[in-house]
């Protein structure tokens, strides 16, 4: 039997058309795709259906509830298809790929996110190649996890980052090898793939106010942190510190505010501002101060995955020590343990 793939068009540059105010998401992607495929060897593609969101998303406007929309759609159609390709805007694609990896987990079929830097409607574009490659991978390769496919790179979704705004090679996974490389041949690193399992297919209700992200900077005042924490809904904080996880520990007021947050049950996850490398909390005395007050070291997790992980765990009801332990673990390959 032929494998069948569902393409879910959520919005993004790949389906945009020009307007007087710049590119905007527009309906009718399926017809534009068929026009592009008209002269192609489409018999080599797996069978597919295309489902287009009624309310298309410019990914700069993405909110956590959009992850729920996508997750519920996948759950609704999971048994009818052998794989899924999600077309998404590039600005927040890594956030969605990370969120879906935590929402689904232990997959038994591929979920591949892709998009483009140039819309499909333009004569010269990267949209068609990204979409065709994602379709071929989803339809012909055993990839039981959420991935990003972009410019011939197959990346673990929760390791991916948008690293360029002006190139077709917009995505990379700085702290983890590519799962595959697509050139003349398709080279899949099967030893790196997560094992297949029974998907959870949960789409929890998110509180957009539950998680905040704060980069430290020279001279950061404690009142900046206090202002973020002075919100009744805040349940988790991602702290982006220097190097291997070093905060400005000489700022006693700042450190006291962090300690009070931990004592109140707010989960604080420490990640590095560096694109490559990991938090090693305690390599320096400044980082060791975070160990003493109960801050969780995020290792080499990306900011996108850290934010999505906290959002999903909190939406599932994790709190207190259970939340801290989950943050300290690799749930689906998002960090090196």
Annotated ligand binding at 90? The verdict is yes
| Residue ranges covered by each domain of the chain | 4-192, 211-327
For residue 246, what are the contacts with CB-CB under 8 A and spacing of at least 6? 284, 286, 287
Q: What is the mean pLDDT of each run of 10 residues along the chain (337 residues)?
A: 88 86 82 72 83 93 97 96 97 98 94 96 92 95 97 98 96 98 95 94 93 97 95 93 96 97 96 97 88 96 98 97 96 96
- Rounded distance, CA 34 to CA 208, Å? 37
DSSP structural state of residue 219: T
How does the average pLDDT of the chain come out, rounded? 94
Report the pLDDT value the prediction gives residue 38, as an integer from 0 to 100.
62
Annotated ligand binding at 91? The verdict is yes
Report the pLDDT value the prediction gives residue 43, as an integer from 0 to 100.
73
pLDDT tens for each residue of 74-127: 999 999 999 999 999 999 999 999 999 999 989 999 999 999 999 998 989 999
96 has catalytic annotation: no
Report the pLDDT value the prediction gives residue 319, as an integer from 0 to 100.
95
Spacing of C-alpha 164 from chain mean position: 16
Report the pLDDT value the prediction gives residue 39, as an integer from 0 to 100.
57
pLDDT tens for each residue of 14-57: 988 888 778 887 888 888 887 777 656 567 889 999 999 999 99
90 has catalytic annotation: yes
If you write DSSP's letter for every residue of 230-290 in order, what string do you get?
Answer: -STT--EEEEEEBTTTB--TT-HHHHHHHHHHHHTT-EEEEEESSSSS---TTSSHHHHHH
Q: Quick one: fold of 4-192? A: Rossmann fold (3.40.50)
Task: Say which of 90, 92, 133, 302 is annotated catalytic.
Answer: 90
Report the pLDDT value the prediction gives residue 1, as an integer from 0 to 100.
45
Domains 4-192 and 211-327 share a fold: yes
> At what angle are helices 303-315 and 64-77 packed, to 10 degrees?
70
| CATH top class, domain 211-327 | alpha beta
Annotated ligand binding at 224? The verdict is no
Structure pTM?
Answer: 0.94
Report the pLDDT value the prediction gives residue 245, as an integer from 0 to 100.
96
């Amino acid at each position: 039997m032929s494998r069948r793939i569902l393409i879910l068009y959520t919005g993004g540059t790949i389906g945009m058309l020009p307007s007087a105010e710049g590119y905007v998401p527009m309906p009718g992607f399926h017809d534009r795709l068929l026009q592009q495929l008209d002269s192609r060897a489409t018999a080599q593609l797996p069978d597919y259906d295309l489902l287009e969101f009624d309310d298309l998303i410019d990914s700069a406007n993405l909110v956590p509830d959009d992850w729920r929309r996508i997750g519920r759609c996948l759950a609704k159609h999971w048994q009818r298809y052998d794989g899924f390709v999600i077309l998404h805007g590039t600005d927040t694609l890594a956030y969605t790929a990370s969120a879906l990896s935590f929402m689904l987990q232990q997959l038994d079929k591929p979920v591949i996110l892709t998009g483009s830097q140039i819309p499909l409607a333009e004569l010269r574009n990267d949209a068609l190649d990204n979409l065709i490659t994602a379709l071929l991978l989803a339809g012909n390769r055993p990839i039981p996890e959420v991935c990003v496919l972009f410019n011939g790179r197959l990346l673990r979704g929760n390791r991916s980052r948008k690293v360029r705004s002006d190139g077709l090679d917009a995505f990379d996974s700085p702290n983890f090898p590519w799962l595959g490389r697509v050139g003349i041949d398709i080279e899949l690193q099967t030893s790196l793939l997560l094992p297949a399992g029974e998907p959870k297919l949960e789409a929890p209700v998110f509180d957009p106010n539950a998680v905040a992200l704060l980069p430290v900077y020279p001279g950061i005042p404690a009142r900046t942190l206090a202002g973020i924490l002075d919100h009744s809904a805040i349940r988790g904080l991602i702290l982006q510190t220097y190097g291997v996880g070093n905060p400005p520990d000489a700022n006693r007021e700042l450190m006291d505010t962090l300690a009070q947050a931990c004592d109140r049950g707010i989960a604080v996850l420490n990640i590095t501002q560096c694109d490559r490398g990991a938090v090693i909390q305690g390599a320096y005395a400044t980082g060791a101060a975070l160990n003493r007050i109960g801050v969780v070291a995020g290792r080499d997790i990306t900011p996108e995955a850290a934010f999505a992980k906290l959002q999903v765990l909190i939406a599932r009801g994790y709190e207190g020590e259970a939340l801290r332990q989950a943050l300290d673990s690799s749930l689906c390959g998002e960090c090196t343990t």
